[in-house]
Amino acid sequence: MSQNIETINVLFVTREPELAERLISCVRMRGRTVRAHQAADRVELEERLLSHRFHIIVLIDRGMDVGTHDVIGALQNSGRLTPVLLLTDRPEDERVADYEAGAFAAISLGPDDVAAILILKAVEFHLCCTQMHRLQSTLQAAERRHLRLLQDSPTPNACFRQGQILLANDAWREYFKIDASADLSGYGLGDFVIPEQQDTLRLLVEERAVQNDSAETRQTFRLRTAHGRKFEGDLVLTGASVDGEACTVLRVVANADKDASEQLSALDPVTGLHNRQHLIQTLEQVLAASARAELPFALIEASVDDFERIHGTLGSSSSDILLTDIGLLLEEHFPPPATVARLGNEDFGILVPSARRTELDQRLAALVRAAAARQINLDQGSTVVSLSCGAIIADDSAPTIEGLLDQAARALDGIRQAGGNGYAFQHLLSDAHARAESDQQWKARLEDAIAHQRLRLVYQPVVNLHGGDFPRFSVFMRVTGPDGEVYDPSDFLPAAERTGMAATIDRWIISHAIQALADRLKSDPRTTFFLKLTRGSLLDGSVVVWLQKFLHKRRVPASRVVVEIKEATIITNLKSAISTARGLKEMNASLCIDDFGNGLNPFHILRHVDADYIKLDGAFVRDVVSNEIIQKAIRRFTEGGHAKGKQIIVPMVEDAATLAVLFSLNVNLVQGYFVHPPSEHMDFDFTQVI
């Protein structure tokens, strides 16, 4: 077993102790020490889960009125994610519901050795998952601490990856005169130094990438602000990671003798409580310690109901007094060792290191009652408010810290939607269950965005590298949330695919894009749109029919449309892809294979679908300037495509050096932020030479 534990703690839910003893003997015969407990009914099951930690639960359902759903429910109520092995004499076709409920395995009562092997495998799987979560939390905690130091530093700092800025602190914005509301995604390395030194900085970044993260590279540059003012300063380059991927941190040092970071404050300036950062740091410690704790911990998110209206009525000063008083109330009901913090605005977080569900129920009920009965004295009179609370009980088998905060917030949202002035518990979800729930939320969000017309199209030019050509645009969609937040396709398309929303989104995009194309053709009849199709549309046998219907309705020639389908989607849905490609060819529309080049023999796909364009996977662009292997791969794809009469497109072009290499490799078409970012306006000049 990969994880070294001395004793396996097993809970048998059964009324057949003799069978349990046989299984224990089989496990011990395989060199493992077992400490076994038994629960014969629901009451004993809940009592055992509250008082002990188990590595596995074995349910023998013969003669029992306890089923898999009951065991999983009891685990969720206790805040545990423990594998459940079901031993049953029910037919296999009746066990599907057990797997859907969350059973690790459901096997027949029979050879004890098979059950013993599965017990060991389930325990090993559980321990590996727990260790993985712990390592992820540790890595993410280290990353967060580093980024917090950068963000709160008085020294200008910014993180870059592949030449593009990922994030920058306020000092960086102020130093380079970038407006606080400006989108940083359009800025690259070269925007902060004079043109003559851009290549020098790029080479410096490339050299630093092969060094240790702790190593520093320092050099003096002629810098420039967003307003064009030029001045001299030192750039210090170090390594870091954002979202688990390596990046380069640039720090500006105007005075070599002054390079220090302020220590993060742990207190909220309004309420005097701990702040969000301190709560997350404490949660990291509790999560690590929970591996050795008998009881799980609880995370609670509390919020003042209808605070926006209250703030509008009382004003900022009285609202701050109100929040301070609520903070005192929370500390009264959750004294140390609990940690109470203000998360932001009207939201508070409470971390309870050792938690029992029954005790939390009582404390939360008392808190909600006390809040509703409390007279809060303000500058002018007094007021009464109500609280909503969302709670989750968890242990070290929990998902990431962000996942815990998100699940507590979901519980809070649920009680708010029910009218507030109460509390609710969220069952601890595994990563898979959390993803399924998140998918359903995305589905509802997308349906709401469609219903309230919060979808919009943006267009990115696809430009010929070898001279003037007719206008081509790749069409993308953005989703705007009810509060103005903007989501890219990478945020919602995976969930849309899994929930069956992708085909609906495809139709919305294509119908609106064809309308926009019809308008554009009036001024330039050569314009061509690249429109993406997802797997959901590919499996819809009517895709060619409704595409042709949209084109006919708007009087748009099919020759002005190129349909993009990902290589992986074609391979895994080959029959539908062949039919769709044939239909597109018959109606005189073109086909582009997207994300091309990942298979063992990529050109083999052209034997089945006759594409006009091949768009390489954007990963090939990464390091293309310095990596000869990647250059040879792109040359091979380009020459092979040209030999078959295909045009080669390379996306994600982010700098001039990449553009020059692609030109030398005889690539036909390019797109990317360096050429032109996606925009709601089709104003790119295709007659210019790039």
Angle, CA of 23, 28 and 34, to the nearest 5°: 80
Q: Output the six-digit token pair for 380.
A: 């002018």
- Which class for 555: exposed (0-12), middle (13-18), buried (19 or more C-beta within 10 A)? exposed
* Residue given tokens 């389930």 in the structure block: 122
Span 309-324, average pLDDT: 86
pLDDT in tens, 240-278: 777 767 888 898 886 443 333 333 456 788 888 888 888
Q: What pTM was computed for the model?
A: 0.51
Is residue 294 predicted with pLDDT exceeding 50? yes
The Cα–Cα gap between 368 and 384 comes to 12
Amino acid at 435: R
Domains of the chain (ranges plus CATH)? 7-132 (3.40.50.2300), 154-253 (3.30.450.20), 274-429 (3.30.70.270), 440-670 (3.20.20.450)
Q: Residue 369: its pLDDT value, please? A: 95
By three-state DSSP, how is residue 397 classified? coil
Q: Name the pLDDT band for 616 (thresholds 50, 70, 90).
A: very high
Q: Residue 290: its pLDDT value, please? A: 73
Q: Output the six-digit token pair for 365.
A: 């009920």
The Cα–Cα gap between 175 and 170 comes to 8
Q: Residue 256: its pLDDT value, please? A: 40
Span 141-160, average pLDDT: 76
Q: Output the six-digit token pair for 402.
A: 């962000």
Q: Residue 435: its pLDDT value, please? A: 67
Helix or strand holding residue 245 (H, E): strand 245-253
Q: Output the six-digit token pair for 265.
A: 């404050």
Nearest to 60, CA basis, from 122, 106, 92: 106
Is residue 293 predicted with pLDDT exceeding 80? no
The Cα–Cα gap between 48 and 358 comes to 14
Q: Residue 4: its pLDDT value, please? A: 56
Q: Are 134 and 291 in contact (CB under 8 A)?
A: yes
Q: Residue 212: its pLDDT value, please? A: 57
409-413-414-418 Cα dihedral, nearest 10 degrees: 150
Q: Name the pLDDT band for 399 (thresholds 50, 70, 90).
A: low
The total number of residues written for the chain in this structure: 690
**C-alpha to C-alpha distances, 178 to 184, 224, 277, nearest whole angstrom:** 9, 11, 26
* Residue given tokens 């997308």 in the structure block: 446
Q: Residue 200: its pLDDT value, please? A: 87
Least reliable range by pLDDT among 275-279, 385-389, 568-572, 655-659? 568-572
By three-state DSSP, how is residue 414 classified? helix
pLDDT in tens, 442-459: 888 899 999 999 999 999
Nearest to 32, CA basis, from 40, 23, 19, 45: 23
Least reliable range by pLDDT among 142-146, 293-297, 662-666? 142-146
The mean predicted confidence, pLDDT, of the chain is 86
Q: Residue 689: its pLDDT value, please? A: 62
* Residue given tokens 């430009």 in the structure block: 463
Maximal C-alpha separation, the chain = 84
- Provide Rg for the chain, Cα atoms: 30
Question: What percent of the residues of the chain are helix, what percent strand, and what percent coil, each to the nearest 5?
Answer: 45, 25, 30
pLDDT in tens, 179-193: 877 778 778 888 899
Q: Residue 145: its pLDDT value, please? A: 67
Chain mean position to CA 623:
25
Amino acid at 464: N
Span 322-337, average pLDDT: 92
The Cα–Cα gap between 147 and 153 comes to 10
pLDDT in tens, 528-543: 999 999 988 888 778 8
Q: Is the dihedral of CA 363, 368, 372, 374 positive or negative?
A: positive
Is residue 614 predicted with pLDDT exceeding 90? yes
pLDDT in tens, 491-524: 788 888 888 899 999 999 999 999 999 999 999 9
b/e map 106-116, b = 16+ CB within 10 Å: bbeeeebeebb
Q: Residue 619: its pLDDT value, please? A: 78
Chain mean position to CA 144:
16
Q: Residue 190: its pLDDT value, please? A: 86
Is residue 430 predicted with pLDDT exceeding 80? no
Q: Residue 261: its pLDDT value, please? A: 35
Could you tell me which residues come within 8 angstroms of residue 212 by beta carbon, excluding any fewer than 6 positions away? Answer: 239
